[in-house]
Structure 1
Amino acid sequence: MDQNLSLYKVFYTVANTGNISKAAAELYISQPAISKSIRKLEQNLEVTLFSRNSRGVHLTEEGEVLYDYVQKAFYSLQLGEMQLKKINELGIGHLRIGVSTTLCKYVLLDYLKDFIAAHPHIRITIECQSTNHTLQLLKENKIDLGLIGKPERLHHIPFETLGEIEDIFVSTNSYLENLALRTDSKEDILRTAALMLMDKENITRQYIDDYLAFHHIENSNVLEVSAMDLLIEFTKIGLGVACVIRQFVEKELQEGTLVEIPLPAPIHKREIGFVHLADTQTNPVIQEFIDFCKKNA
């Protein structure tokens, strides 16, 4: 583009106002300067852009063609300015989140989808780790925010809840029927079944181990799995009884694909939510994301 951008700004303003004096007032320059800019642009383009009469100015046919393009260009510039303003208002525009693969799939993804649509300028990176690793990354300032199941001790780390989750044991009817034939016993299912649990580094496993120990439930046939997705799928094909989060298998329970195992006492519900160390005033996007998720929880 050979023309000075200021000439197009004058052209755009005159076209919108239809009056040189109004355009001069809007741009805070003199009327002669407006007229001079229009003449210069017309000379450079070798066309007449405005027809003039006593009531003001009107775009010529050539002026209409140019106006369509100039209008789109200035609209794009305005959008760019708005995006920059959002970035400035929300801090650096980058959010580093730590989360387990389970909570990422079943909880975080839905929030991210809507948040990114509303804030496309914010760059987001995800570290999929266990709760313990997420807390360690937070302490090392390698992430800004962690989505975790609330542990017993947080050592003064702020925790903002998103709600509760409930651990349950599930299986298929066919597995339970076969188990009854094999054991020929009325012993508790959790003691005789192939018991599928998350690995010992997972905070859910630690929570369930405490529950089993408290109720004196021992099982020597334990299969450890690193992801809840696999637990659910293994259970659906009849490998055993698994401990999963109720909210993540509601569809299977409703359809009857999985059935809930009765327990001697319900497992206490746990909170899930966000932890962060950074001052949200230093990086306002942290609090922006937390507030967005809590509002849509």
Structure 2
Amino acid sequence: MNSNFEHYRIFYYVAKYENLTKAASAMHTSQPSVTRTIHNLEKNLGCRLFERSKTGMKLTPEGEVFYEYIAAGCSQFFKAESNLSDMLSLDNGTIYISATETALHCYLFQAMESFNARYPNVHFKILNNSTKKSIHIVKEGNVDFAVVSAPFHIEKPLKKQILREYHDILISGKRYSELKGKQLSINQLSKYPWISLTSEAITRKFLNQYFEKNGLKFEPDIELATTDMILPAVRHNLGIGFIPPEFAIDDLDSEEIFEIHVQETFPERNITLIYDTEYPQSIAAKEFLKFLSETTIL
């Protein structure tokens, strides 16, 4: 038997409306096409499914038995289509993002909050990864896009878009209070204990270059795996370190720590969006990308 789901769907609508014209209208097709499909289905099944009359289409006893199964099957298919449509829409969609911790704190959390105020039923699935891992995940098609905070190189079909710019600040705990309120050179500060990320981190390489540009070699006393661990280490007076300002707002306000003013400007950094131009985006993901392009997050 060569019947397929489209034949069964047409049979379902003809049986439901008991009229070829109404069934064709519901399916946005022509009546001759519906008539031809029913004829072929009856031929394939080897029995008549409808009794045709001037008043419409009535199911035969064989047609009634067949309809019980087809109606149950169509109900499940229609439900699946509806649920999938909701998942891909702004009513119940899910957006998958890979992001660095700096991108999350300096941009993405606030952007998600603003977007959810407009579309409260959209959900986010966030993977916290390094810039390198985030780019790889986008290439593999495992997320809709990535938001990262370190310099990187990409190739087509990947594209990038700068979402915002920011500067790291140098912070210290109370132990080094003699540094407070002064304008100091990086050379003067190099004598103090430093806290930084491990040598594998792209952000650490960025810091190495900053020191080299000023004729110094960067040799931190403490190396940590994640940026969010730098703040508590500084708070406990273990050294000084650069950190995005968003990480330190509360501690700066409470004066648990203070900002050190450095003469040599620390290079500007970017929060960057990465996406695959060949990857099909859901309605929710497309709307969030549009939102990020049109909205300023400070």
TM bucket (normalised to shorter chain) is: 0.5 to 0.7
Partner SS state of residue 146, structure 1: strand
The 1-side partners of 2:99 and 2:115 are apart by 17
The structural deviation recorded for 1:280 is 7.0
Between 235-244 and 82-91, the greater mean CA deviation after superposition: 82-91
The one-letter code matched in structure 2 to 1:286 is: A
Contact (CA 8 Å) 2:171, 2:243: kept in 1 or not? yes
The 2-side partners of 1:91 and 1:263 are apart by 49
The 2-side partners of 1:296 and 1:188 are apart by 36
Residue number in structure 2 paired with 1:19: none
Residue number in structure 2 paired with 1:126: 126
The one-letter code matched in structure 2 to 1:145 is: F
Render the CA deviation track for 1:70-103: whole Å, top value 9, x for unaligned.
xxxxxxxxxxxx9987656559933210012333
Partner SS state of residue 276, structure 2: coil
1:245/1:273 Cα in 2 relative to 1: closer, same or farther (>3 Å)? same
The one-letter code matched in structure 1 to 2:104 is: C
The one-letter code matched in structure 2 to 1:112 is: M
Residue number in structure 2 paired with 1:148: 148
Matches within 5 A, 1:1-297: 89=89, 93-156=93-156, 157-177=158-178, 188-279=187-278, 282-294=281-293, 295-297=295-297
Between 279-288 and 262-271, the greater mean CA deviation after superposition: 279-288
Contact (CA 8 Å) 2:138, 2:144: kept in 1 or not? yes
The structural deviation recorded for 1:147 is 0.7
Contact (CA 8 Å) 2:211, 2:218: kept in 1 or not? no
Render the CA deviation track for 1:116-147: whole Å, top value 9, x for unaligned.
34334434211111111111111111111101
Contact (CA 8 Å) 1:90, 1:283: kept in 2 or not? no
Render the CA deviation track for 1:132-175: whole Å, top value 9, x for unaligned.
11111111111111011252423343222221111222112422
Contact (CA 8 Å) 1:193, 1:221: kept in 2 or not? no
1:187/1:232 Cα in 2 relative to 1: closer, same or farther (>3 Å)? closer
The one-letter code matched in structure 1 to 2:211 is: L
TM-score normalised per structure 2: 0.60
1:132/1:92 Cα in 2 relative to 1: closer, same or farther (>3 Å)? farther
The structural deviation recorded for 1:281 is 6.0
The 2-side partners of 1:147 and 1:219 are apart by 28
The count of aligned residue pairs is 210
Give the gaps of 5 or more residues in structure 2: 1-81, 180-184
1:220/1:176 Cα in 2 relative to 1: closer, same or farther (>3 Å)? farther
- The CA RMSD measured in Å over matched residues stands at 3.3
TM-score normalised per structure 1: 0.60
Between 188-197 and 266-275, the greater mean CA deviation after superposition: 188-197
Render the CA deviation track for 1:162-206: whole Å, top value 9, x for unaligned.
21111222112422549xxxxxxx993432211101223332212
The one-letter code matched in structure 1 to 2:169 is: I
The 2-side partners of 1:201 and 1:220 are apart by 14
1:137/1:282 Cα in 2 relative to 1: closer, same or farther (>3 Å)? closer
The one-letter code matched in structure 2 to 1:217 is: L
Give the gaps of 5 or more residues in structure 1: 1-81, 179-185
Contact (CA 8 Å) 1:149, 1:203: kept in 2 or not? no
Partner SS state of residue 262, structure 2: coil
Contact (CA 8 Å) 2:159, 2:276: kept in 1 or not? yes
